[in-house]
Amino acid sequence: MPATYPDLRDRTVIVTGGASGIGAAIVAAFAAQGARVGFLDFDIEAGAALADRLAGEDATVRFEPVDLRDIPALRAAIASVREAFGPVGTLVNNAARDDRHPTEDVEPDYFDERIATNFRHHFFASQAVLPDMIGLGGGAIISLSSIVPLAGIGGMPVYSASKSAVVGLVRSLARDYGQHNIRVNAIAPGWIMTERQKTLWLTPEADATRAERQCLARRLVPEDIARPAVFLASEDASAITGQTVVIDGGWV
Ligand SMILES: NC(=O)c1ccc[n+]([C@@H]2O[C@H](COP(=O)([O-])OP(=O)(O)OC[C@H]3O[C@@H](n4cnc5c(N)ncnc54)[C@H](O)[C@@H]3O)[C@@H](O)[C@H]2O)c1
């Protein structure tokens, strides 16, 4: 049974990449707290389906179809959520895409695209909501990093660099905006079994490696990230900022 955090009721929350995977679990978890959740994604079909499902459960949600690589469109989508639900108190920077890319194949355009998909919107979404949080007297930003750079996993160097950049951004914003009671933390997931992961990467061999490397035997699921994300946004985490919380079942 998930914990309940009364301070999250009626809070305006924005989740990027909320239409599927971990982001969808985060949207549902905040909606279950009674928060007003705006989520941004370019998967229109999945986003509309999630919004319909949650609205049917009496949740207050709003889907904004947007490609987060387009910063003016990202800013407009955040403004639209603000107009509908009020100033933003929590932002979860979640969207990314872990496509594999051998170093020798990377051209400058692809490099820039990887950064735009996996990192740039973290900065501009945060920039867009900070004035709201200052006005509210506080807020929480949670940005999804990964254990990929921490564990030194290869095969996706620009994705890995983006996930390291997330940690640098989080620590810098935590320093600059702590005086406004704005807390900024990263979550570094291990291997979380989303539909995309199951379809693309979950082979019997890969699952055997996972079972060997994790201290915990079970496969991790999106809710294993969503519940700690909700905790980090809540007043129960009011002294936690500038941290990277590793949630990987003990990957060694
Ligand atoms: N699943 C894992 O094992 C794992 C491990 C480590 C870190 N993470 C991180 O967790 C976060 C969520 O990962 P996930 O596995 O749920 O991913 P996912 O691919 O299942 O879902 C990502 C969502 O973001 C959306 N998205 C991607 N690019 C977008 C864009 N340009 N504009 C708008 N929407 C866009 C997608 O449509 C999708 O709904 C990511 O930051 C990822 O790097 C995941």
Asked whether residue 85 is assigned to any structural domain, the reply reads yes
The confidence score (pLDDT) of residue 252 equals 93
Nearest CA to ligand 1 atom 2: 192
196's CB contacts (< 8 A; 6+ apart) are 20, 21
Positions of E strands within 19-138: 36-41, 60-65, 88-93
Q: What's the CA-to-centroid distance between 244 and ligand 1, angstroms?
A: 18
Asked whether residue 1 is assigned to any structural domain, the reply reads no
C-alpha to C-alpha distance for 135 and 50, rounded to whole angstroms: 30
Asked whether residue 239 is assigned to any structural domain, the reply reads yes
- What are the beta bridge partners of residue 192? 220
pLDDT band at 199 (very low <50, low <70, confident <90, very high): very high
- What are the beta bridge partners of residue 90? 13, 140
Residue bearing tokens 């959740």: 37
C-alpha to C-alpha distance for 144 and 98, rounded to whole angstroms: 12
Asked whether residue 175 is assigned to any structural domain, the reply reads yes
The best mutation among 78, 144, 148 to test binding of ligand 1, ranked by most ligand atoms within 8 Å of the C-beta, falls on 144
The best mutation among 14, 16, 20 to test binding of ligand 1, ranked by most ligand atoms within 8 Å of the C-beta, falls on 20
Domain residues for the domain of 211 are 6-247
- Averaged pLDDT score across all residues of the chain: 98
Q: What's the CA-to-centroid distance between 137 and ligand 1, angstroms?
A: 30
The confidence score (pLDDT) of residue 139 equals 98
Inter-residue contact 69 to 113 (CB < 8 Å): yes
Asked whether residue 229 is assigned to any structural domain, the reply reads yes
Asked whether residue 59 is assigned to any structural domain, the reply reads yes
Closest to 185 in 3D by CA, of 132, 234, 250, 135:
234
Ligand 1 and 159: CB distance under 6 A: no
Structure confidence by residue, pLDDT tens digits, 82-117: 999 999 999 999 999 999 999 999 999 999 999 999
Beta-strand relationship, 12-16 and 88-93:
parallel
Give this prediction's pTM: 0.99
Asked whether residue 230 is assigned to any structural domain, the reply reads yes
- What are the beta bridge partners of residue 134? none
Asked whether residue 106 is assigned to any structural domain, the reply reads yes
Nearest CA to ligand 1 atom 17: 21
Number of independent structural domains in the chain: 1
Q: What's the CA-to-centroid distance between 162 and ligand 1, angstroms?
A: 13
The confidence score (pLDDT) of residue 1 equals 87
Q: Annotated catalytic sites, by residue?
A: 159
Domain of 53, CATH number, reads: 3.40.50.720
